[in-house]
Structure 1
Amino acid sequence: MVRDNQAEKSDNSRFETGSSRRSFLLKSGAALAATTVGFAGTGAASGEHSSYTIRTGTEEETDVYVTESGEPGPTAVVVGGIHGDEESGYRAADDVATWSVDRGTLVVIPRANPVAIERGTSSNDNGDLNRKFTPGKEPRTALARAIWSAIDRHNPKTVLNLHSSKGLYRESDGPDGDGQAIYPTLSEGADVDTTMTAKYMNEHHLDDSFPEYYEFKRGNLVDGDQPLLIHKVFADMYIPGYIVKTTRYGTDLDTRVNWTLNMVRHLLRRNGMDRTYE
């Protein structure tokens, strides 16, 4: 289940060097070697962009983009396009894949579910991809295993998963849904990151033309008991993870993409990584 937890924590951004949070892993042993899931590509030199593919030679083939800043720092992973009918998520991730950062390594899987994206559907032939990441066990499909292995190989400090919803979180207006919210893992500080990012969005990126019920919120805490990607991130890695959701209700694509990009930028900053403009 997901649980609300209003406990206050320090409002300091967290930045770690040396030993990783992964010393606290509840490792499942499910991550596969890169060769098992069809990695292809070349590594990046410091300060450069590179990419490689997963599920190479299949209809699920998709790219992973890696930006090495050349400076010590955290590794962050951003995943978009798990649901092919949530266009703002993968459009925003396409943009994030081109970013430069001031420190650490930025890894982006913009179009995690290419079959669903091509079809404009939430699922592919194997069902809902975001229901295939069982905590503590090997992911249930070849694509899910490839995505998890790509995340695992980079030893991230944080993972962001970009989505949208047809409705609004905890609002009676509009259709049922859970957009305009960020859902943090129970990892230390993630809830504060989310609260501060929502506050930042409401103060600086929510146009006055939108009613108050469009304000961004901190969603329920992700505690690792569902077979979703960010649940597995918490349960198996015990690092900060975030589900980022805008709403499709009464909004256009450009607005949703812009909101998503600003949330990503702010969450990365709070995890020790700033976007640079070179």
Structure 2
Amino acid sequence: MPSNTGRRPFLAAVGGIALAGAGIAATSERANAAQADEKVTLLEGTEYETTGYVQTADADGPTVLVVGGLHGNEVAGYEAAANVSDMELERGRLVTVPRANATAIESGTRIGADGTDLNRQFPTDEEPSTELARALWGVVEEYEPDVVIDLHESQELYEGDVEDGVGQAIFHSRDVRAEEEAQEAAETLNEDYVDDSTYDFTVAPFSLPPSETPNMFVHKAARDTDATAFLAETVSDGPELSTRIHWHARVVRSLVWEELLTPGEGDPEDPDDGGDAPEEENEIPVARIETDPENAEETVFSKGETVNLDASASEDPDGEIVTYEWDVNGTNEFEEGDETAEVTLSFCGELPVALRVTDDEGATATEELVLSTV
């Protein structure tokens, strides 16, 4: 794939949007010897405001864009996009927009405050249909990604008909390279990370008209920019949230392995050039919440009852967990704590509680459950 200097001409000229005009502001976050980081704010000061992250390695290479949260009820996708947003790169550039549809995520629904499905606002060869869609497309136009990865969840498994469900599938743009990389990612997931073959990942190309779902983000990315594009789907029910997040993160790492995570030809770290081999990549931890009483998510409690939460079953495959953070108020704000926490159910309704763990290399994972009170 081309590098991010002297790369192929960018083709998304129709409906062109300048970065500032799209409601995007870029600010520098930090820089070190390995890579420079910056933040990108979309629609700052509005209810749709959300943050993107840009990681740029010293060594030149392709640009990859990872997007999550186009649908606010597909939690594993946006949590995984957040998890991979700060991974260390050997070369190239990684741009992530983990929580693209902030109002939909806040309400836990597919559709945001504007009443539209964000992933149906990207007609090919035309300007995106809504302000939020135009802002997200502005990121594409600004950073000109060579690879685009969009992370989602589906209620049902994909069995060849997108109308019946698309879970546990990696869909790809219609080119040989994309098909090969999607197949390799699926094989890696199925062999090393999927314990139950019911949830094995399958691979399929993007549908074509008239059977395709219209105006999807990755379709526009593939057709208007000639990027290699992927849409990854896990199921939304069955496997634990932490497992689904882990699967999504592994899909991303597999799809960008050659592009961003291995040295390019001639890089000083390339073993063929006599340098040291790159360090083995850090495994993402697994967050797990156990409850007392057991199966609390399946229980309806009375107001005033207390539920004890235990994160000791969480694990890190290649290190140790150093930080436990809890959100026991349903505010999406985490506070550092211990392996255990408790929740007193002081009102009637549903209360989402969440755990976030961080390993000794800085990788994070999240688990969430919902407690019900009458």
TM-score range, shorter chain: 0.7 to 0.9
Report deviation, 1:40: 2.0
- Aligned counterparts, 1:178-217, within 5 A: 178-207=166-195, 210=196, 212-217=197-202
Give the counterpart of 2:234 among 246, 268, 273: 246
Secondary structure at the counterpart of residue 63 of structure 1: strand
Q: Percent identity?
A: 35
Name the one with the larger helix percent.
1
Q: Greater relative contact order: 1 or 2 (C-alpha under 8 angstroms, separation 6 or more)?
A: 1
Deviation at residue 223 of structure 1 after TM alignment:
5.0
* CA displacement at 1:185 relative to structure 2: 0.6
Give the deviation of 1:22 after TM superposition: 3.5
Tell me the distance in 2 between the aligned counterparts of 1:89 and 1:150.
19
Q: Could you say if the C-alpha distance between residues 182 and 245 of structure 1 is closer, same or farther in structure 2, counting changes exceeding 3 Å? A: same
Greater fraction strand: 2
- TM-superposed CA distance for 1:19, in Å, is 4.1
Match of 2:14 among 12, 20, 29: 29
Aligned with 2:80 (options 92, 95, 111): 92
- 2:350 counterpart residue number: none
Equivalent residue for 1:122? 110
1:136 and 2:117 matched: no
Structure 1: distance between partners of 2:148 and 2:118: 17
> Is the CA contact 2:157–2:165 (under 8 Å) kept in the aligned structure 1?
yes
2:148 maps to 1:163? no
Name the CA distance, whole Å, in 1 between partners of 2:130 and 2:89.
Answer: 32
Distance 1:35 1:171, change over 3 A: closer
Superposed displacement of residue 188, structure 1: 4.2
CA distance in 1, matches of 2:6, 2:36: 24
SS at match of 1:219: strand
Question: Tell me, what secondary structure is at the counterpart of 1:199?
Answer: helix
Structure showing greater radius of gyration is 2
How many corresponding residue pairs? 256
Contact residue 222 and residue 230 of structure 1 kept, 8 A: no
Unaligned ranges ≥5, structure 2: 263-280, 283-360, 362-374
CA distance in 1, matches of 2:159, 2:185: 18
Pair 1:261 & 2:249 matched:
yes
2:260 corresponds to: 273
Alignment-derived partner of residue 206 in structure 2: 221
Q: CA RMSD in A?
A: 2.2
Q: Distance in 2 between matches of 1:133 and 1:171?
A: 24
TM-score between both structures, scaled by the size of structure 1: 0.86
Please name the residue that 1:41 is paired with: 26
| CA positional deviation for 1:52 | 1.9
Q: 1:153: which partner in 2?
A: 142
- Secondary structure at 2:53 match in 1: strand
Superposed displacement of residue 74, structure 1 = 0.5
SS of equivalent residue, structure 1 residue 135 = coil
Deviation of residue 167 (structure 1)?
0.8
The answer for unaligned runs of 5 or more in structure 1 is 1-14
1:102 matched residue in structure 2: 90
